[in-house]
Amino acid sequence: MNSAKMKKAMRLMGRMISQNMFNHLILDFKYWEDQSDQFRQGEGTLLPLWHDPSFRNPSAKRKHVTAICWNSKHKDMFAVGYGSFDFHRQGKGDVCLFSLKNPTEPEAVYECDSGAMCLDFHPNFPNLLAVGLYDGSVLVYDISTGSKQPLYQSNVRVGKHTDPVWQVRWQEDDMNKSLQFYSVSTDGKVAIWTVNKAEIDMSTAMELRLVSTRDDDEEQDDDTLVNALAGGCCFDFNETQTHLFVVGTEEGLIHKCSKAYNSQYLDTYNAHHMPVYAVRWNKMHPRVFLSASADWSVKLWDSVDASAPFLQFDLGSPVGDAAWAPYSSTVFAAVTADGKVHVFDLAQNKNEPICEQKMPTKKAKLTRVCFNPAQPVILVGDEKGRITLLKLSPNLRKVAAVAEGQSQQAAEEAKMDRIIQIAEKSRKQALKAENMRLAEEQRQNSFRGGEGIYANA
């Protein structure tokens, strides 16, 4: 009864029963298309598929969904991290593996001593899962062994962060091709974790030095910035230039960094007024990335121009997360604390989302969003431990038309380049109009001052 063959047979039987129970939802997942999209240009909808009580961890009812990541090989499998963003209410965390083939229960549950704040599957070894915890330590699980204990775990001896780990990313070592992943924490460090045979070793990739953003004419106390570190909240590596990465901080700044320089930034973007919760490089365009913040805004940046974003959107509520679609350079989604999912397609509308939809569950802050790499669906997590799967209507997943002899990648880059050119032209026109207005206002003020002088005379 306890043999591996019996366990495999029971799992297959459970999936068959689940697919019979949710047959209508499986048909929607495969075949549903919103026919009304053809009558409303520039608008789309999201269809909730499996939702409450599906994709639930019974032990995580009072925990927040802190991370979601799809498996790099098995496109139906995803991992969910459970912890708490409330600093005054911390406890143990969980990491759950779910499959779309059986939404009734998790495939596996891994208990952590502290809240699981972030996770990432290895792109080439889909059995390796890196996890960052609230207590500053990191774990590596091998999900293929069936063991609930981590394969590797950091500690004080090998090194660990002194603050919560907010993001982890696998990244290949450029020199000896060893297994490595990066982590960022509010202790001001971006760390490299190298996986060896017996343990993992920690080294520092970048110390996030504080940068003053005040005007030059104001007095600056440089001594206070010498040893001060900025709190790192998120980071992401460029899709094509893998040595480049951007880091979002608690102070609202974004720093562009390189793995070749660990002591200085390549550039600094004065991005937000509050902590940056997400930075994401565009998957189809090498220069573009987005940032999402608690100041209610999502901003799009051209990495060669740090002066200002070429587009920005006010979503009316703190933005918990944002992510680019894997199939288009102009489509991205964001989730907000008022329980809404916003989907943008800049090629159809550069001013507002083409889909703004409230979640069907009870009122809860949305914390995470993630696109499936193969299917037209997204996962959304909230602060009550719920996971909702949403299918995109046809208007939300349009791709660029490909000319003869042109690749899909080139077509998507050209589509985004047109958006950048239009946005830059509009920004220059607005700046010119504002300068003219200020000049006219200054002229009127000087004229009124002259009238007062002549009247006194």
Question: pLDDT tens digit string along 109-146?
Answer: 999 999 999 999 999 999 999 999 999 999 999 999 88
Question: pLDDT tens digit string along 368-381?
Answer: 999 999 999 999 99
Model's pTM, two decimal places?
A: 0.89
Neighbours of 197 (CB within 10 A): 4
Question: pLDDT tens digit string along 322-369?
Answer: 999 999 999 999 999 999 999 999 999 999 999 999 987 767 899 999
Predicted local confidence at residue 213, as pLDDT: 64
Question: pLDDT tens digit string along 80-90?
Answer: 999 999 888 88
Contact in structure between 340 and 380 (CB atoms under 8 Å): no
Q: Three-state SS for 418? A: helix
Residue 232, classified by CB atoms within 10 Å of its CB into exposed (0-12), middle (13-18) or buried (19+), is buried
C-alpha–C-alpha distance, residues 12 and 14, integer Å: 5
Predicted local confidence at residue 216, as pLDDT: 44
- Buried-exposed string 374-400: b where 16+ CB fall within 10 A, e elsewhere: ebbbbbbbbbbbbbbbbbbbebbbbbb
Predicted local confidence at residue 450, as pLDDT: 59
Question: pLDDT tens digit string along 216-266?
Answer: 444 445 555 556 888 999 999 998 998 999 999 999 999 999 988 877 899
